[in-house]
Structure 1
């Protein structure tokens, strides 16, 4: 049976780990989705203002201790890139480049991903003109057209399967030696004449005049150009407004607006840490947010039993 977690935490910094400690210690099933060795705490050479460490501590060591504490209470961890949330399913679906995860509740603790993040060459230029992040949203526009999908995991496989209802030709460019997804979906795609799965591929540039016309792709180290009219990207290149704005109200800086209990405007979704719209961003404030969010999740799930 496919796992349904009581809580999925997106982000393995102080806020996310604190919420994981509180909730897993309360016998909830908790999964933390993280990208190891990144984030502001990991890069902090010395932290002198976190209580309990009179001689100071490196950010890396503090994070390691928090993670080990969460593991002691049963928290699970997944190394993956967060791609978004499907809020309309019940339970909710947290999408990553590895797998899609079902969750009764979600805490977003990704840190402050500023809007100036680097995109692929041509991505911003052709957004809405052939570039999309959601095949189920824009699939109807691809009728009788050649499309491409870039990424890895359940999300890209499911989206490609959806496109078979519309598109004339479908290229799936996989960032690895195999497509990690449901075997039945993979077999269906492999047996569809309009679908071509290309492994060990990396998108280099999206090109065109007024709309998308071609995609330059590096395959096994060799660059090739493909004629495509749509490119669906599942690579984690959305900026904070594009990513978080799908399921939360944001302020002008692309930060999540919550109430005092860290609730967003969507039921069962909370935010904590630097990703929240607030005045101070410190390890201590992140831990405070994580505590509040974790306690609210516990109460929320108890009322849903």
Structure 2
């Protein structure tokens, strides 16, 4: 069975209640599901899109122990298969509300169904941050992209720009360098913040130029994006750059909008937790990229899932 078949062909028959409801089927949520079964609990994973979450947008994962290199989509598939081999049930819906103030908690789905649970684990992840500049919405999908693996093939042998200078931006640039003829990396800081090894790999392609201390001011075009207007952070001067496309990698926005007023969030919308992944609400945990944390990697997301289940099992299910 292919990865895409997994998301639809193995929907479970929903029960009215579970020991643990996990909202989000990325690496943290899937790991929590596996550990829950191993702890003798009945979990449910609720995912609104694809198993694996944002991992599916990563061309090559080279820091997941046991694999020298594996595509994000393949790793997503393997994680989901692992969970299903342990009989972890998945359902595909969006959570629209939570009732978490009582001991018996409830998750409300977009179809109106209410599922009861003793423990809730928030694993909703995050999405790419947008620029918010003039022309962005107009040219989204017509030259502006947030996913190199999704759209890179549209720009074969073309000149593209990449916005951002961190690990994600340079990792995606390295992938794009195999497709495009030239990359202009635009960074708002005076230097890159990505790992030195990534910087070297990208520089070794001979296809990259850098524009530092600059931000994208606006984009222009006709039926397709044609030009970027780049503004100097220091002088405010606007410089046009003719490109065929632009890829934006400037960080993430946590998927926590529906959690406002439910659990404590920080100023950026990330869920606050302690070291055991507990939120400020009893028996409600947050794991992975939706959680306030320093390091956002697949391995740390998976670790969050195991820690949350370890703590929940011992505090709410074991005598």
| TM tier relative to shorter chain | 0.5 to 0.7
Q: How far does residue 90 in structure 1 lie from its aligned partner after superposition?
A: 4.1
Post-superposition Cα deviations, 1:133-171, rounded to whole Å, max 9, x if no partner, equal xxxxxxxxxxxxxxxxxxxxxxxxxxxxxxxxxxxxxxx
Q: Give 1:95's aligned residue.
A: 108
Residue 64 of structure 1 is matched in structure 2 by 77
Give the whole-Å Cα distance in 2 for the aligned partners of 1:240 and 1:69. Answer: 25
Matched with 2:126 is 112
What is residue 52 of structure 1 aligned with on the other side? 66
Q: TM-score, normalised by structure 2?
A: 0.53
TM-score scaled by length of structure 1: 0.56
Q: Which runs of 5+ in 2 are unaligned?
A: 1-13, 133-253
Rounded Cα–Cα distance in structure 2 between residues aligned with 1:117 and 1:93: 36
Mapped to 2, the partners of 1:73 and 1:259 lie a distance apart of 29
Assess if the C-alpha contact under 8 Å between 1:115 and 1:241 holds in 2. Answer: no
User: SS of 2:126's equivalent?
Assistant: coil
Distance 1:41 1:72 in 2: 20
Q: CA offset at residue 85 of structure 1? A: 0.8
Shift of residue 241 of structure 1? 5.3
Q: Determine helix, strand or coil for the equivalent of 2:313.
A: helix
Name the structure 1 match of 2:291: 276
Distance 2:282 2:125 in 1: 21
1:46 is displaced (CA, Å) by: 0.9
Query: Structure 1 residues 302 and 284, CA, compared in 2 at 3 Å: closer, same or farther?
Result: same
Q: For the Cα contact (< 8 Å) 2:124–2:255, is it kept in 1?
A: no
The aligned counterpart of 1:25 is 38
SS at match of 2:317: helix
Structure 1, unmatched stretches of 5+, are 119-238
Would the aligned equivalents of 2:125 and 2:255 in 1 still touch at CA under 8 Å? no
8 Å contact from structure 1 (residues 23, 297) kept in 2? no
Shift of 1:265: 0.7
1:246 to partner: Cα distance: 2.8
Structure 1 residues 23-51: Cα deviation after superposition (integer angstroms, max 9, x where no partner): 11222111000023373111111111111
Matches within 5 A, 1:31-180: 31-37=44-50, 39-54=53-68, 56-98=69-111, 99-113=113-127
Helix, strand or coil for the counterpart of 1:83?
strand
Distance 1:289 1:117, change over 3 A: farther
Q: How far apart in 2 are the matches of 1:117 and 1:79?
A: 30
| Distance of 1:262 and 1:27 partners within structure 2 | 20
Count the aligned residue pairs.
183
CA distance in 2, matches of 1:3, 1:248: 24
- Shift of the 106–116 alpha-carbon distance from structure 1 to 2, 3 Å rule, reads farther
For 1:188, the equivalent position in structure 2 comes to none
Q: Cα–Cα, structure 1 residues 256 and 2, in superposed 2: closer, same or farther, change >3 Å?
A: same
Secondary structure, counterpart of 2:117 in structure 1? strand
Q: Pairwise CA RMSD of aligned residues?
A: 2.4
- Return the alpha-carbon distance in structure 2 between the equivalents of residues 83 and 65 of structure 1: 28
Q: State the 1:3 CA deviation.
A: 2.9
Match in the other structure for 2:313: 298
Q: Which of the numbers 282, 293, 307 marks the counterpart of 1:267?
A: 282
Compared CA separation, residues 287 and 241, structure 1 to 2 (3 A): closer
- Measure the CA separation in 2 of the matches of 1:29 and 1:57: 30
Instruction: Give the structure 1 partner of residue 23 of structure 2.
Output: 10
**Matches of 2:124 and 2:96, distance apart in 1:** 12
